[in-house]
Amino acid sequence: MGFKQAVSDSSLFTKGKGNDFVALLVYVDDVVIASPNLNQVEQIKSHLDAVFHIKDLGPLKYFLGLEVARSSKGISVTQRKYTLELFEDTGFLNCKPAKTPMATGTKLSKTTGKKIEDITQYRRLVGKLLYLTITRLDISYVTQQLSQFLDCPTDIKGFSDSDWAACLDTRRSVTGYCMFLDTTLISWKSKKQQTISRSSSEAEYWALAAAACEIQWLIYLLQDLEVEFDSPATLYCDSKFAIAIAENPVFHERTKHIEIDCHLVREKLQKKILKLMHVTTANQLADVFTKPLAAATFSNFISKLSLHCLYTPACGGLSTNSGQSSSQRADSSTT
């Protein structure tokens, strides 16, 4: 039918331009079609039905555990049913909520606590939490921390002082970033760095490199979706020294030990793919993905990251109809 596979994502197929643009996202036998032209959508569905005998579920409401809610304010994605089932499976359904996912200053280590005999359940839980971070960015950091112990989980009770090398076992730092398209959060990550940084500035520079790679991939993806950019992407960093490393080759003597691939930040700057801006630590939203924060700071940052409640009126979120049975949920991932 004239579709081409996107370079940025092998599951994405596109064709046409402008009002005739169509995006088709495939996961095994589940398909999502998006286009401003409804006639195009109907033609594609008719063709797919003729070849595969598909079940048309209408406007997208549920896809691979993701619930989609629409209102005049826009589109929101939630995993409420997935979360409630996770709580029920783990026995936490009636527990009181905590103000933050992790206590401030907490550092986990493989050397503390008693080893868990059955690690299968722990690994399964972490896997589910990782999938939950698709919409719950507020648990990204703590889930990243828990995933470090898949080979040796313990009932951890010990605490230690914090330092810039976040992981006590490997002395590696944690990279965290979040990406906005206009005012909409579209990508975020919390991940332990692959190498040991000799200073906090170097760790910040590695984080810049990871963010630069994510920006480049997002640009490729948006180009596949016919979204063009006339100006460089802006990347905020709270380390003036890390920005100086990227912008000023004079720092070579201080940074020649850093691997070459980390210097791709400088390449992206020279090609005007991105520009670096300094932001104060008090306004660094990426801190949510790199360390446990105090309740007030955590709530303040989360409120700026487009995270809101869809189901409680007091939260001021969007309203949606969530009354689907389990059988409906199993069928509603195709539209």
Domain range list for the chain? 4-58, 72-162, 170-290+301-307
pLDDT computed for residue 33 by the predictor: 93
Average pLDDT over residues 183-193: 80
Angle at 131 between CA 197 and CA 27, to 5 degrees: 115
132 neighbors 79 (Cβ within 8 angstroms):
yes
Angle at 207 between CA 162 and CA 227, to 5 degrees: 140
The better pLDDT of the pair 83, 106 is held by 83
Rg, the chain, Cα only:
22
Which residues touch 267 (CB under 8 Å, ≥6 apart)? none
Q: Would the pLDDT of 258 be above 70?
A: no
**What is the share, in percent, of the chain residues with pLDDT greater than 70?**
76
Predicted model pTM: 0.60
CA-based max dimension of the chain: 65
Residues 6+ apart with CB under 8 A from 166: 107, 172, 173, 174, 192, 290, 291
Position 113 scores a pLDDT of: 64
- Looking at residues 148-176, what average pLDDT do you find? 52
User: Distance between CA atoms of 176 and 180, rounded to whole angstroms?
Assistant: 14
Least confident of 117-126, 143-152, 206-215, 224-233: 143-152
Mean pLDDT of the chain: 76
Report residue 157's pLDDT band, with 50, 70 and 90 as the boundaries: very low
Which residue type sits at 125? L
Examine the pLDDT at 14 and tell me if it is beyond 70.
yes
Q: Which two tokens stand for residue 323?
A: 């009354």
Report the distance separating Cα 79 and Cα 309, nearest Å.
Answer: 11
- Residue 163 is predicted with a pLDDT of 33
For position 34, what pLDDT does the model report? 92
Q: Tens of pLDDT along 33-84?
A: 999 999 999 999 999 999 988 888 888 998 888 999 888 888 889 999 998 9
Q: What is the mean pLDDT of residues 304-314?
A: 72
Residue 122 has pLDDT above 70, yes or no: yes
Place of tokens 């691997």: 259
Q: Is 81 exposed, middle or buried (0-12, 13-18, 19+ CB in 10 A)?
A: middle
Q: Spelled out in words, what is the top-level CATH class assigned to the domain 170-290+301-307?
A: alpha beta
Give CA–CA dist 315/147, Å, rounded: 30
Of the candidates 202, 330, 186, the one whose C-alpha atom is nearest the C-alpha of residue 263 is 202
Mean pLDDT of 184-211: 76
Element (H, E) at 216: helix 200-224
- Cα gap 192→151, rounded to integer Å: 16
Better-scored residue on pLDDT, 331 or 25: 25
**Poorest-pLDDT segment among 31-40, 121-130, 302-311:** 302-311
Strand partners of residue 57: none
251: pLDDT confidence band, cut at 50, 70 and 90? low
pLDDT at 25: 92
Within its chain, how far is the Cα of 264 from the centroid? 22
- Can you tell me the mean pLDDT for 215-230? 82
Between residues 183 and 170, which one has the greater pLDDT?
183
Confidence of residue 5 (pLDDT cuts 50, 70, 90): very high
Task: Over range 197-218, report the average pLDDT.
Answer: 79
